[in-house]
Chains A and B, each alone.
Chain A
Amino acid sequence: MLLSIKALEKRYGGARALGGANIEVAAGSVHGLLGENGAGKSTLIKTLSGLVTPDAGEILIDGKPASIESVRHAEELGFRFIHQELSLVPHFTAVENAFVGRAYPKRGPFIDRAAMARAIAETARDIAPDLPLDVPAARLTTGQKQLVEIIRALIGEPARLVVMDEPTASLSDGEARRLHKAVRRLAERGVAVIFISHRLDEVMEICDRYTVLRNGVTAGAGDVSDIDRPGLVRLMSGREEAELIARPTPARSPVALKVSDLPFGDHGSRISFEIKAGEILGLYGLVGAGRSSLMKIVWGATSHREGTITLEGRALRPGHIGDRIAAGGAYVPEDRRHEGLIVSRTIAENLAIANLKAVRVAPSLPWVGLAALRRRAEEVKAALSVKMGSAFAKPLTLSGGNQQKLLFGRWFGRPIRLLILDEPTRGVDVGAKAEIHAVARRFADEGAAVLMTTSDMDELLALANRVLVLAGGEITAELSGSSLTPARIIDAAFQHQSRKDPAA
């Protein structure tokens, strides 16, 4: 075995990322690494690249115990990593990009461009014969950029293991097929490939073996020829069927939010759905399914040309956040640090910024009163049980869960008719998570239509009345009541290529 990992464990603070992960990868094989969002795939990969030091467990390379000290060390071991976010210099050609950070061939003190071109042309002939090598990376398609990354991984010290993190996530089918060929050729050269993908069909097609992670533990591994698609889904979801009954949809409520024909995803798809007052609609999809950008369109943070959004019969203009706020909208963004908190300002101001009229000294004077700021902060603190000291401290002095509550508190004090939640409890500990769920339910109970997206299956099942599953740019399932089960959700989320299957 080129690489064996045994009982690997890793914790981040209180959260367990890996709790006994095993994987065995042989030279010259393509190994599919599968799992839901947050199953521990990234952490496992980071231990291989030297970015993360495991807390426990063994890494064997060629049967000998090893520890990967640094990124440099991983490189020396012949491990190469191709990340989802490609890191090419846009105005460099394939040849120039391939040598960034590698030893340049030299003639005297000068870089030997001819030797560079020769080296790349040789590798490219094997892997991707039709890749243009003398065009700036900015003009290449995403798929071609992936091929450049693969070639780059093979330059310099010989590669023994190439890890590819969802390389086909944003590729067209034709490009994906070209990439599959390149991956197979890589394996034929004796290189081991760890291939992370959410497209089960492609895993079945190009991988020799598979390993499924669930909640940081290896849930199953074996030869791809010995398992079928439903088997993989079962391993990934791992939950008992019908374990939870979802909250019933409030049947008699009127429709509050109506979304019609909004553009969604990269493939020109459209999406329509409705949410009743008091209902929590969960959107589930794999990372990259386009959920966050949809939420931003609904909130008006991104404009759209086609489709309409109405809230309680009022049309919301594309790209006008002010319309949403005026109609009783509220939004809790995905990225607390970059899209939520204004870290240079006080907690009180962070709570007031969306509704400065509430902190005036007198109703007709746009003068911000310190006493009013403090009073509002105290109200939010009491209502959402935020653990904080002074209202005029900076938000980063609070814990992640309490920071997250500030983002809810920002909308507190007005009747909320629409609440948009994008990953409402990311990076929040378990206790605060439950409290935040209670806050979200309270907004719903007070009559808000709640649109939520989360990668956390448990959160989805805990909060949502109804779930829409998104895959490949369309709604692949609408689940509620007894049909709202983890296995149904996972199965629908992995239906990526079924739509091209004429039988489906």
Chain B
Amino acid sequence: MTGFVRRFGTLAALIAIIIAFSIASPDAFGSPSNLINITQQMTLLAIVAIGATVVMAVGEFDLSTASIVSFGGILVVFLFKAGVPAPLACLAVLAAAAVFGAVSGFVVSRFEVLSFIATLAVGTIIGGITFWLCEGATLFGDIPGGFRDIGRGTMLGLPTLTWWLIGVAACAWIILDKVEIGRRLYAIGGNREAARLAGVRIVPNTMFAFIVSAVLSALVGILLTARIGSANPTGGGGYLLSAYAAVFLGMTAFREGEANVPGTLVGAAIIAVIGNGLTILGVSTFLQDIITGTIILAAVLVRRAGKQGA
């Protein structure tokens, strides 16, 4: 019984929250179109959170994610203004992010710097570059219509953004749970020294995790720009805390205290559902933050209690 609660309690909480909002507001919240809309609303947060999940799998933190989201959005518009074609511009942005991820991962693993500090520094550098590129202003104009379609509209009955989430989540799940590199990443996160002594190479594997996180954050910057048609140098600011909140919520689901992709999806969904539902009920955004924070704390405490009881 307790094992069941531990594994599926967080998922049950998500379902309970959905049912509660559906009863409170059957027409607006509970409508199929709103529920589909929530999957679109959670996409950007969830993709950043999936990147964070991969970094947490090796037992590290990446505090540069929010900066990379802003950077990705600004750089792609900057390249458009310079006349670079959209596919090339997007690839360039992802490549630049990969470099930042590689730097963070290398510093953290090779020199054993605390990832908090290393990625805070890298994120600060990226923030500076971002402001330099856009001279502190919001960038708009020169954004091709075809590019904007990757972040809006629908495909096969689902919002385009939702497809992005499905694709990214599937890839990340395969990487972490199905192929060899995932075993290595979790082994490092579980016991770095034991993994090293068993022949797992710490530096390249850790770098890989940080590169995935950076590339996914940059992807979110691109999608965000495509969706709203402009780029703001602080556009990614809100993603850091909520992404890690989603990962921590997800660590209470399915597995015992390990960051995992399905769990992160549930975590991101909880945050998105609460946001959406409270907005529909007309609750002020301040109160929404208070409620979201309280729920995360409660989830972690419940898990703690469950663990001690076991």
Q: Which residues of A contact B (CB under 8 A)?
A: 299, 301, 321-322, 324-325, 331, 333, 338-345, 349, 352-354, 356-357, 360, 366-368, 410
* Chain B residue nearest in CB terms to A323: B199
- Is B191 in the interface zone, CB < 8 Å from A? yes
Judged by a CB distance under 8 angstroms, whether B183 is at the interface is yes
- Please, which residues of chain A bring their CB within 8 A of the CB of B193? 338-339
Establish whether residues B197 and A342, one from each chain, have CB atoms under 8 Å apart when the complex forms: no
Our pick among A339, A352, A367 for the contact of B194 (Cβ within 8 Å) is: A339
Q: Which residues of A contact B199 (CB under 8 A)?
A: 321-322, 324-325, 354
Contact A321 B180 (CB under 8 A): no
Is the pair B196, A342 in contact by a Cβ cutoff of 8 Å? no
Is B184's CB under 8 angstroms from A356's CB?
Answer: yes
Cβ contacts under 8 Å, A344 to chain B = 186, 189-191, 256-258
Chain B residue, CB-CB nearest to A370: B178
Given contacts A325-B199, A343-B191, A356-B183, 9 further A-B contacts (CB under 8 A): A331-B197, A338-B191, A338-B193, A339-B197, A341-B194, A343-B190, A344-B189, A366-B181, A410-B198
- Which residues on B are within 8 Å of A, measured CB to CB? 178-184, 186-187, 189-191, 193-201, 256-258
Contacts of A367 in B (CB 8 A): 178-180
A-B residue pairs in contact (CB < 8 Å), sample of 10: A322-B201, A342-B190, A344-B256, A345-B183, A345-B186, A349-B187, A352-B183, A354-B199, A356-B183, A366-B180
Closest CB in chain A relative to B197 CB, distance in Å: 6
Per the bound structure, the CA–CA distance linking A390 and B190 in Å amounts to: 20
Closest A residue to B200 by beta carbon equals A353
Q: Which residue of B lies closest to A420 (CB)?
A: B197
> Which B residues are CB-close (under 8 A) to A325?
199
How far is A292 from B286 in the complex, measured between Cα atoms in Å? Answer: 57
Closest Cβ–Cβ distance, residue A460 to chain B (whole Å): 23
**A interface: dominant SS:** mixed
Known: A343-B190, A343-B191. A299 touches B179 (CB 8 A): no
Closest to A336 in B: B194
Residue pair A353, B179 in contact (C-beta under 8 Å) = no
Residues of A within 8 Å of B196, CB to CB, are: 301, 321
A301–B183 Cα distance when bound, in Å, is 20
On whether the beta carbons of A353 and B198 are closer than 8 Å, the reply is yes
Nearest to A296 among chain B residues (CB) is B197
- B197 adjacent to A356 (CB under 8 Å): no
- Measured in the bound complex, the distance between the Cα atoms of B197 and A450 in whole Å is 17
| Shortest Cβ gap from A151 to chain B (Å) | 34
| C-alpha gap A366/B181 in the complex (Å) | 8
A299 to B196, CA, bound (A): 11
Q: Does A299 lie within 8 Å of B197, measured CB to CB?
A: yes
Per the bound structure, the CA–CA distance linking A384 and B99 in Å amounts to: 46
Of B179, B180, B191, which contacts A342 at CB under 8 A?
B191
A residues less than 8 Å from B258 (CB atoms)? 344
Residues of A within 8 A of B197 (CB): 299, 301, 321, 331, 333, 339-340
Q: Tell me which residues across on chain B come within 8 A of A356, comparing CB atoms.
A: 180, 183-184
Residues of B within 8 A of A301 (CB): 196-197
Q: State the CA gap A229–B191 with chains docked (Å).
A: 45
Chain B CB count within 10 A is highest, among A301, A322, A354, for: A354
Q: Is the CB of B182 within 8 A of A338?
A: no
Residues of B within 8 A of A343 (CB): 190-191
Chain B residues with Cβ under 8 A from A349's Cβ?
183, 186-187
Which A residues touch B178, using CB under 8 A? Answer: 367-368
Determine whether the beta carbon of A342 is less than 8 Å from that of B201.
no
Q: In the assembled complex, how far is the CB of residue A300 from the closest CB belonging to chain B, in whole angstroms?
A: 9
Complex Cα distance, B186 from A343, in Å, reads: 11
How distant is the Cα of A410 from the Cα of B194 in the complex, in angstroms? 12
Question: Known: A301-B196, A325-B199. Contact between A368 and B257, CB under 8 A?
Answer: no
CB closest residue in chain B, given A345:
B190
A360 to B200 CA separation, bound complex (whole angstroms) = 17
Q: Report yes or no: B201 in contact with A353, Cβ–Cβ below 8 A.
A: no
Residue numbers in B under 8 Å from A339 (CB-CB):
191, 193-194, 197
Specify which chain A residues have a CB less than 8 angstroms from the CB of B257 in the assembled complex.
Answer: 344
Q: Contacts of B191 on A, CB cut-off 8 Å?
A: 338-339, 341-344
Residue of A nearest to B182 (CB): A368
Closest 3 CB pairs of A and B: A344-B190, A342-B190, A366-B180
